[in-house]
Structure 1
Amino acid sequence: MNNKPQALVIGASGGIGEAFINELLNGGQYSQVHAVSRSVPKQPIESVKYHIINEQNEQNIQACCQELAQTQIAFSTVICCIGTLHDKNQTGRAIQPEKRLEDINAAQLQHYFHVNTILPALWLKALEPIVKGQHLAKVVFLSARVGSISDNQLGGWYGYRASKAALNMLLKTAQIELQRRAKNVCLVSYHPGTVDTALSKPFQNNVRPEKLFTAQFTAQQLLSQLDDLHAQNGPYYLDWQGKTIPW
C-alpha cells in the first residue's frame, strides 16, 4: 500500500467542500487530494483527482470506495461535507426548518434524514477499506451544534436537529465497533459554526458579523485540530474552536 498520506473530500462541490480542498492542498501534507462530487467544477484544480457520482446512493458509493480501495491508497484524512438545511425535495416542495410541531410533515423529515443521516451513514459503511491500516486515519463528518440533545435550549428545527442527532449517534456507535476492527480510525463530528455559504444564507440576518465565518476559516479551524485527535479517544464532537460539544 502507498503509505504517503492522501486526503478525500466528499461533497466537494459546495462552499465548505471547496474550502477544504484548497486548505488541504495549501498545507502540503498530502501527496494527493481526492474530491467526490456530482460534477466536475467549472474551474477544476489540476492537481485534484475528481470522482464523479451523478447520484449518491448505496450502489454508487460502494463502487467509488471499491475503486479507491483497488488503488491501495492510504487515506489519512476523509472529510464528508454532505448536508442540507433548506432545499427542495424530490417532488419540488420547499424544505425549510420547522418552527412549530404543526410544520412537521413526513416528506420533509424523510428528506432531512436522507441527506443528513442516511447518505453519511452509507459513506461511513463503505469507507473502511480505504482508511483501515497501520496509520492513524481521521474521518470527519460535518454535523451541527443543534444536533446535541442535551444542549437543545431553543427547540424548533425538528428535522434538521433530529437528523444531525441521528448522525452523531451513528458515529458514536460506529467508533465502538471500529475500535475492535479498525483501531486506527478516529471518527469526528464537527460543528463548523455559521458559515457564509448558500446553506446558511436565509438565516444570516440574526447572526452577529463576528460569528459569520468564511468557508476558508472553518476549514482552517478543523484542520488545525486534527493532529490532537486520537482513535482510542474517539469519537469526538467538536466545534470550530476545538471545544467539546455534549452529545
Structure 2
Amino acid sequence: MSFLQELNNANAFIIGASQGIGLGFVQKLLQDDRFAKIYATYRQPESAVDLLTLEGEYPDKLTCLSMDITDESQIIDVVQKISAAVNKLHLVVNCVGLLHEGALQPEKSLKRINSESLIRYFQVNSIGAILLAKHLLPLFRHHERSVFASISAKVGSIGDNQLGGWYGYRASKAALNMLMRTAAIEYRRTSPKTVIVMLHPGTTDTRLSRPFQANVPPEKLFSVERTVNQLFAVIEQLQDGDSGQFFSWDGSRLPW
C-alpha cells in the first residue's frame, strides 16, 4: 500500500512556500480533501503575497508562518507553533533552495569560488534541511505513514556530474542528499513509519531557474503545476523501503 492510499484528516507542512514549487504544493494540497491542515513557511511577506492571499481564502485549512531556514531558533519556534495545534505530521516537503542571489551566482570556474558564497549555499541548501529533520522528529513519531521529502537537484549527483561548474550548488545539494540519507537511517529506528526522500523536480519555470533557461528545450522546461503533479505522483507511490533514496520527477532513482 502506498503512502497516500491510507491518508485521511492528514496534516502537511510545506517549507519555502512563498512562490515556485512550494506555492504549487500548497495550491494542490488545498484542493485535496485528505489534508485537513496545511502549514506553510515564507521568509519575506513582500514576496509571499500569493501565499498570504490563499491563507485569507482558506483560514481554516492553511496557516502561514514566517521562518528563515538558516536560523535554528526560528525553526524551533515554528515547530513549537505547529505542535501546539496538531500532534502529528503526515507530509513535509522542504522546497527551500538557493542557486543565485544578488552577487551570488553559480561558479563557472575555480577562480569564481569564495568561502562566503560556499557557506551561504550550504546554509540554505543543506544545513536547514537537517535541522528540520532534527526538530520535526517528534511530530513524525506516530503510527501512521508519513513522508519527509526534500527538493534536491540532479546536479547534486556526484556520479552524474559530467559537465563540472556550479561548485557551491552542486556540493550543497550533494551534502543535502547525504545528510537526509543519514537521517533516514536514524528515522528507521526512531520513527519507522516515516519515509525520507530527496526529489529532483526537473527544470521548472521558477525564479530560481529563469536566468538559466535559454538552452533548455521547451519540452524539458516544466510549469510549476506540472512539476508539482509529477513529484506528488512520486510521493504517492513511495513504499517503506524507499526511505533514504534519491528520485527524479519521473520516479526513476538517481545515482549518488
- The aligned amino acid for 1:82 is V
Which runs of no fewer than 5 residues in structure 1 stay unpaired?
89-93
**How many Å separate the matches in 2 of 1:4 and 1:143?**
28
User: Given that residues 97 and 158 in structure 1 are in contact (C-alpha distance below 8 angstroms), is that contact kept between their aligned partners in structure 2?
Assistant: yes
User: For the residues of structure 2 that align with 1:55 and 1:158, how far apart are their CA atoms?
Assistant: 21
Corresponding position of 1:239: 248
1:87 aligned onto 2:101 = yes
Letter in 2 for 1:42: V
Once the two structures are TM-superposed, the CA of residue 242 in structure 1 deviates from its matched residue by 0.9
- Where do 1:159-170 residues align within 5 Å? 159-170=168-179
Answering whether residue 218 of structure 2 is matched by residue 218 of structure 1, we say: no
Indicate if the aligned counterparts of 1:6 and 1:73 stay in contact, CA closer than 8 A.
no
Mapped partners of 1:31, 1:241: distance in 2: 28
Q: What's the CA shift for 1:66? A: 1.9
**What CA distance in whole angstroms lies between the structure 2 residues aligned with 1:99 and 1:213?**
24
* Deviation, structure 1 residue 56: 4.5
Aligned partner of 1:78 in structure 2 is: 92
TM-score, normalization by structure 2: 0.89
Specify the alignment match of 1:21 in structure 2. Answer: 26
- Partner SS, residue 250 of structure 2: coil
Q: 2:122 aligns with which of 90, 113, 133?
A: 113
Across the two proteins, how many residue pairs are aligned to each other?
240
Paired residue secondary structure (1:102): helix
Q: What's the TM-score once normalised by structure 1's chain length?
A: 0.92
Q: Is the 2:9–2:34 contact (alpha carbons within 8 Å) kept by the matching residues of 1? A: no
Structure 1 residues 62-120: Cα deviation after superposition (integer angstroms, max 9, x where no partner) = 121122123233211111111111113xxxxx111111111111111111111111112
Is 1:208 equivalent to 2:217 in the alignment?
yes
- Where structure 2 has 5 or more consecutive residues not aligned to the other structure, the ranges are 1-7
Q: What pairs with 1:50-69 in structure 2 (closer than 5 Å)?
A: 50-53=64-67, 56-69=70-83
| Larger relative strand fraction | 1
In 1, distance between residues paired with 2:83 and 2:219? Answer: 42
Runs of 4+ in 1 over 4 A off after TM superposition: none
User: Sequence identity, in percent?
Assistant: 41
Q: Give the alignment's Cα RMSD to 1 decimal.
A: 1.5
Q: Shift of residue 28 of structure 1?
A: 2.3
Q: Who is 1:191 aligned against?
A: 200
Q: Secondary structure at the match of 1:138?
A: strand
Please tell me whether the aligned partners of residues 83 and 139 of structure 2 are also in contact (alpha carbons under 8 angstroms). Answer: yes
Who is 1:148 aligned against? 157
| Inter-CA distance 54–80: structure 2 relative to 1 (3 Å threshold) | closer
Matching residue's letter, 2:49: K
